[in-house]
Amino acid sequence: MPVGIIAGTAIYSIPSITMEEISVDTPYGETLILRGEGENSDLIFLPRHGPKHSTPPHKINYRANIHALSSLGATHVLAAYAVGSINTNMPPMSLVAIDDFIDFTSGREVTFFDGGVNKVKHIDVSEPFCTSLRSTLLELSAQYGLEIIPGGTYVCTNGPRLESPAEVRMLSKLGGDVVGMTAIPEITLAKELDICFAAVAFSVNWAAGIEKKISFVEDGLSDLGKNLLDLFIRALREASK
Ligand code: HPA
């Protein structure tokens, strides 16, 4: 069964797999994906900012991306999100299998069900992620040398600017653990299409105000990304058997 991986900042391809670029037409516009060749043709990789990171978070065509994965038959999808750390127990370079979110975005197209022919649908997000895929991912993580924190709340801001220190203090008081700009509406659109979807946030900086100036992790990120992708592929294949 086809499975999908979505990634953004710091992860633009799957180095261990030869993939071809395919343009997919959707009712929401065209999107570019990479598809594995030969025995990996079940694998779809979607660079959410485009292959050259040319689309900022607030302008990503999330509906085209998720629709494309679904129309190609992807039943299980794992996403990686670069984030800033709010929770001091989740310092930069931490991996967090997020299990909840807070949405501070605005002006994005957030649903496939906006009336008319598509009707109206109010999805239940009491359990935002696919529990079986999250469990498989966490169970297999040690085999890839990865320690994944098994839960955390992702706050999605609109970007493209980073947050102010006062905003980060507020987000911390609201229960946010990590902050990023792209998980919403990706998570909720996948849920609307009944895709089994789970996600790992990887921290690349302390959020604003925790240190005097924001500095981004550079060392070790490509190894972390490579191991995370290998784990994603294994977990997706196990979970979709
Ligand atoms: N804030 C929002 N998005 C981010 C950050 C951050 O500090 N780091 C990486 N993506």
Our count of domains for the chain comes to 1
The atom of ligand 1 lying closest to the CA of 81 is 10
Q: What is the CB < 6 Å shell around ligand 1? A: 82-84, 157, 162-163, 179-181, 204-205, 207
Domain that holds residue 127: 3-239
Please state, for a pLDDT cut of 90, what percent of the chain lies above it: 90
Which residue is closest in CA terms to ligand 1's atom 6?
A: 84
Which residue is closest in CA terms to ligand 1's atom 7?
A: 84
CATH of the domain at 33: 3.40.50.1580
DSSP the chain: --EEEEE-TT--S-TTS-EEEEEEEETTEEEEEEEE-GGGTTEEEEETTTTTT-S-GGG--HHHHHHHHHHTT--EEEEEEEEEE-STTS-TT-EEE--EEEEE--S----S-BSGGG-B-----SS-S-HHHHHHHHHHGGGGT--EES--EEEEE--SS---HHHHHHHHHTT--EEESSHHHHHHHHHHTT-EEEEEEEEEEEPBTTBSS-----TTHHHHHHHHHHHHHHHHHHHT-
169 in the Ramachandran plot: left (φ > 0), alpha (ψ -120 to 50) or beta? alpha
In this prediction, residue 218 carries a pLDDT of: 87
Which residue is closest in CA terms to ligand 1's atom 10?
A: 83
Cut 0.95: pTM above it: yes
Pocket test for ligand 1, best of 87, 163, 178, 221 (most atoms within 8 A of CB): 163
Other beta carbons less than 10 A from residue 116's beta carbon: 7
In this prediction, residue 9 carries a pLDDT of: 84
Q: How far apart are CA 184 and CA 79, in angstroms?
A: 12
Q: Which two tokens stand for residue 163?
A: 């947050």
The atom of ligand 1 lying closest to the CA of 181 is 3
* Cα 161 to averaged position of ligand 1 atoms, centre (Å): 9
The answer to whether 194 and 71 have CB atoms below 8 angstroms apart is no
**What is the chain's pLDDT, residue by residue, as a tens digit (241 residues)?**
899 999 998 888 898 899 999 999 999 999 999 999 999 999 999 999 987 778 999 999 999 999 999 999 999 999 999 999 999 999 999 999 999 999 999 999 999 999 988 899 999 999 999 999 999 999 999 999 999 999 999 999 999 999 999 999 999 999 999 999 999 999 999 999 999 999 999 999 999 999 989 999 989 898 999 999 999 999 999 999 9
Pocket test for ligand 1, best of 181, 186, 213 (most atoms within 8 A of CB): 181
* Cα 150 to averaged position of ligand 1 atoms, centre (Å): 20
* Cα 144 to averaged position of ligand 1 atoms, centre (Å): 25
In this prediction, residue 166 carries a pLDDT of: 98
* Cα 82 to averaged position of ligand 1 atoms, centre (Å): 7
Q: How far apart are CA 110 and CA 92, in angstroms?
A: 29
In this prediction, residue 143 carries a pLDDT of: 97
The atom of ligand 1 lying closest to the CA of 163 is 1
Q: How far apart are CA 25 and CA 138, in angstroms?
A: 34
Per-residue pLDDT reduced to its tens digit, 112-132: 999 988 899 999 999 999 999
Which residue is closest in CA terms to ligand 1's atom 9?
A: 83
* Cα 115 to averaged position of ligand 1 atoms, centre (Å): 33
Which residue is closest in CA terms to ligand 1's atom 2?
A: 180
In this prediction, residue 10 carries a pLDDT of: 84
Which residue is closest in CA terms to ligand 1's atom 3?
A: 180
